[in-house]
Structure 1
Amino acid sequence: MSIKLSLERIRLLASHLPPYSRPTVHVAGTNGKGSVTCILSSIFLASGLTVGRFNTPHLVSVQDSILVNEQSISLEEYTLSRAAIESADREHGTEVTSFEMLTLVALQVFEKLRVDVVVVEVGMGGRLDATNYIPDESILLSALTTVDLDHQSFLGNTVELIAKEKASIARKNRPFVLGIQKYATVENVVRSVVEQTGAHFIATQSAQRRAWDDTIDGPLPPTFSLDADSFRPPPPQPITFTSSVFPNSLYALLYLNGSHQVENLSLVLTIICTLISHPSCASRMPSGFSERVLENIKTGIRSATWRGRLSFHRLTVSSPNPRAITVLVDGAHNRASSETLASYVSNLVTMLDGNPNVRILRLSYILALSHSPPKTPKDTLSPLFASRSSTRLLIRTKVAAIRFTSPEGMPWVKSVLPSKIAATVRESVSGVGLWVASDEGKIQGQLESALEWAIAEGTEREDGVQELVIVAGSLYLVADFYRLLAKQEANPV
Structure 2
Amino acid sequence: MSSTGVPQDSSPEYRDAVAYLYGRINYERLSAQSFTHSDFKLQRMRRLLDLVGSPEATIPVIHVAGTKGKGSTSTMSAAMLQAAGYRVGLYTSPHLNRFEERFLVDGECATEAEVVELVDAVRRAELAMGDEGERLTFFELTTAMAWLHFQRRQVRIAVLEVGLGGRLDSTNLCHPLTTIISSISRDHMKLLGETLASIAREKAGIAKRGVQMLSGVTPRDAVEAIRESCSRAEAPLWEIGREIEVRNVRLSTTVETVLPHYEFDLSSPNGAIDNVAVPLAGRHQVENAALAVTAVTGLQPHGFSVDADAVHRGLRNARLPLRLEILRRAPLVIVDAAHNDASMEAVRDTIRGLPASRKTLVFASSKDKETARILEIAAPAFDRILVTQYLSNPRAVPPEELLVLARQFSSRETILAASPLEAWQRIQVDAQPQDLVCVTGSFFLAAEFRDLLVSPTDPTGTPCER
- Give the TM-score category using the shorter length: 0.7 to 0.9
Native 8 Å contact 2:332 2:435 kept in 1:
yes
Aligned residue among 230, 241, 246 for 1:207: 246
Q: What residue is the counterpart of 2:149 in the other structure?
A: 109
- Is residue 336 of structure 1 aligned with residue 339 of structure 2? no
- CA drift at 1:210: 4.1
Aligned residue among 50, 71, 84 for 2:87: 50
Cα distance between partner residues in 2 of 1:489 and 1:119: 27
Native 8 Å contact 1:54 1:65 kept in 2:
yes
- CA drift at 1:99: 0.8
**Pairing 1:43-442 to 2, within 5 Å after superposition:** 43-93=80-130, 94-95=133-134, 96-134=136-174, 138-179=175-216, 181-204=217-240, 205-211=244-250, 221=256, 232-234=257-259, 236-243=261-268, 245-246=270-271, 249-276=273-300, 282-283=301-302, 285=303, 289-290=304-305, 292-314=306-328, 325-348=331-354, 352=355, 361-372=357-368, 375-386=369-380, 397-407=383-393, 413-437=394-418
Native 8 Å contact 2:247 2:265 kept in 1:
yes
Native 8 Å contact 1:367 1:473 kept in 2:
yes
Q: What residue is the counterpart of 2:424 in the other structure?
A: 451
- CA drift at 1:419: 0.7
Q: What residue is the counterpart of 1:6 in the other structure?
A: 41
Question: Number of matched residues?
Answer: 415
**Which structure 1 residue ranges, 5 or more long, are not aligned?**
222-231, 277-281, 316-323, 353-359, 389-395, 408-412, 438-445
> Do the aligned partners of residues 475 and 197 (structure 1) sit closer, same or farther apart at CA in structure 2, a change above 3 Å counting?
same
Native 8 Å contact 1:206 1:263 kept in 2:
no
- CA drift at 1:325: 3.8
> Do the aligned partners of residues 430 and 378 (structure 1) sit closer, same or farther apart at CA in structure 2, a change above 3 Å counting?
same
SS in 2 for 1:256: coil
Alignment-mate amino acid for residue 9 of structure 1: R
Q: State the Cα deviation string for residues 123-148 of structure 1 (Å, max 9, x = none).
A: 000111111122xxx31111111111
**Which structure 2 residue ranges, 5 or more long, are not aligned?**
1-24, 28-38, 459-466
Cα distance between partner residues in 2 of 1:370 and 1:23: 35
Cα distance between partner residues in 2 of 1:198 and 1:332: 34
Cα distance between partner residues in 2 of 1:254 and 1:488: 26
- CA drift at 1:6: 1.6
Q: State the Cα deviation string for residues 257-276 of structure 1 (Å, max 9, x = none).
A: 00000111121122134323
SS in 2 for 1:171: coil
Cα distance between partner residues in 2 of 1:341 and 1:199: 33
> Do the aligned partners of residues 60 and 89 (structure 1) sit closer, same or farther apart at CA in structure 2, a change above 3 Å counting?
same
Cα distance between partner residues in 1 of 2:113 and 2:181: 33
Cα distance between partner residues in 1 of 2:159 and 2:317: 17
Native 8 Å contact 1:309 1:330 kept in 2:
yes
SS in 2 for 1:241: strand
Q: State the Cα deviation string for residues 386-437 of structure 1 (Å, max 9, x = none).
A: 3x5xxxxxxx722222221335xxxxx5111111111111111112242342
Alignment-mate amino acid for residue 359 of structure 2: L
Native 8 Å contact 1:163 1:190 kept in 2:
yes
Cα distance between partner residues in 2 of 1:211 and 1:14: 46
> Do the aligned partners of residues 36 and 211 (structure 1) sit closer, same or farther apart at CA in structure 2, a change above 3 Å counting?
closer
> Do the aligned partners of residues 383 and 405 (structure 1) sit closer, same or farther apart at CA in structure 2, a change above 3 Å counting?
same
> Do the aligned partners of residues 107 and 488 (structure 1) sit closer, same or farther apart at CA in structure 2, a change above 3 Å counting?
closer
- CA drift at 1:211: 4.7
Native 8 Å contact 2:379 2:385 kept in 1:
no
SS in 1 for 2:263: strand
SS in 2 for 1:168: helix
- CA drift at 1:200: 1.8
Cα distance between partner residues in 2 of 1:114 and 1:251: 33
Native 8 Å contact 1:60 1:482 kept in 2:
no
Native 8 Å contact 2:65 2:181 kept in 1:
yes
Native 8 Å contact 1:27 1:145 kept in 2:
yes
SS in 1 for 2:412: coil
- CA drift at 1:236: 3.3
Native 8 Å contact 2:407 2:414 kept in 1:
no
TM-score by length of 2: 0.84
Q: What residue is the counterpart of 1:440 in the other structure?
A: none
Q: What residue is the counterpart of 2:22 in the other structure?
A: none
> Do the aligned partners of residues 206 and 361 (structure 1) sit closer, same or farther apart at CA in structure 2, a change above 3 Å counting?
farther
What's the C-alpha RMSD, in Å, of the aligned pairs? 2.2
Native 8 Å contact 2:400 2:416 kept in 1:
no
Cα distance between partner residues in 1 of 2:112 and 2:92: 17
Cα distance between partner residues in 1 of 2:249 and 2:127: 56
- CA drift at 1:199: 1.7
Native 8 Å contact 2:390 2:445 kept in 1:
yes
Cα distance between partner residues in 1 of 2:45 and 2:269: 41
- CA drift at 1:119: 0.2
Q: State the Cα deviation string for residues 265-314 of structure 1 (Å, max 9, x = none).
A: 121122134323xxxxx13x3xxx33x43332111122222111111112
Cα distance between partner residues in 1 of 2:204 and 2:71: 17
**Pairing 1:26-45 to 2, within 5 Å after superposition:** 26-45=63-82
TM-score by length of 1: 0.79
Q: What residue is the counterpart of 2:31 in the other structure?
A: none
> Do the aligned partners of residues 212 and 421 (structure 1) sit closer, same or farther apart at CA in structure 2, a change above 3 Å counting?
closer
SS in 2 for 1:25: strand
Alignment-mate amino acid for residue 312 of structure 1: I
Q: State the Cα deviation string for residues 63-89 of structure 1 (Å, max 9, x = none).
A: 111111122323332232122102211
- CA drift at 1:157: 0.5
Cα distance between partner residues in 2 of 1:329 and 1:78: 30
Q: State the Cα deviation string for residues 362-403 of structure 1 (Å, max 9, x = none).
A: 21222111111xx332022111023x5xxxxxxx72222222
Alignment-mate amino acid for residue 417 of structure 1: P
